[in-house]
Amino acid sequence: MNRAALPAGLAGLALLHAGPAATWLPAVRRATPALAGVGAAGHVALTFDDGPDPRSTPRFLDELGRLGCRATFFLLGEMLERHPELGRRLVEEGHEPAVHGWRHVNALVTRPGRVTREIGRAVDLVSAVTGVRPLWYRPPYGVFSAEALAAARLRGLRPVLWTAWGRDWKASADPASVLAALGPGLRGGATLLLHDSDRTSAPGAWRSALGALPELVGRCRAAGLRVGPLRDHGVGRAIRGRRGPETPERADHGGTP
């Protein structure tokens, strides 16, 4: 074995593993509009990460119901396993379940094979609990690894990030700061990232996103924009010229645990 070639080989493997994480950078996301979640010009996709959480998710569901608005919830498997009733409720109320992994860990620092197993486990749980086969995958922290991308595609998931976020995880966040953070990106085709849980945020930070929802939805509607889940967003179709929004597919078994 050529020992001189070993460092170069290891560096190449590391680059292959970590390269997809560059999509976390705004400039890279702008260059990959489908991955960023750019959709139909008349629609804004509303998405939430890190639930379901019994302390906060029901409040978001109540408020979204009051506003007559649907959203996509990127669920953590470990949270859904503890609170399956919330997964069932969000689907019953017209929201879309999606996969955020099993635990909220950075894929770049997870040992080989674990991300693949945990994505598969999360897909199976979401399907079993809600009766809906998820369509989307967003990694924790928005950080993809080569393994995470491959595992998501193997399980039929479309990877998606966001075009604008509310920075609602901070202890200093409030409804006004969330609206200010989202404001520059609040346009047709946007995919908005908020959190319905403080599972990985400052305690109680979810209140900032919840408080911002009425004004956020109101601004979109005043601009003539529809607000809804990713399944109705037409991600990539404006670019590829494909037709019509997707609808969620019922899981083959349709059962719940």
Please state whether 102 falls in left (phi above 0), alpha (psi between -120 and 50) or beta. Answer: alpha
DSSP per-residue letters across 142-186: G---HHHHHHHHHTTPEE---SEE--TTSTT--HHHHHHHHGGG-
> Catalytic annotation on 195?
yes
Q: How many CB atoms lie within 10 A of CB 41?
A: 11
The catalytically annotated residue of 83, 95, 195, 233 is 195
49 is catalytic: yes
Of 20, 66, 68, 70, nearest to 48 by C-alpha is 70
Which is catalytic among the residues 43, 49, 53, 168? 49
Report the chain's terminal Cα–Cα distance, integer Å. 53
Residues involved in catalysis: 49, 195
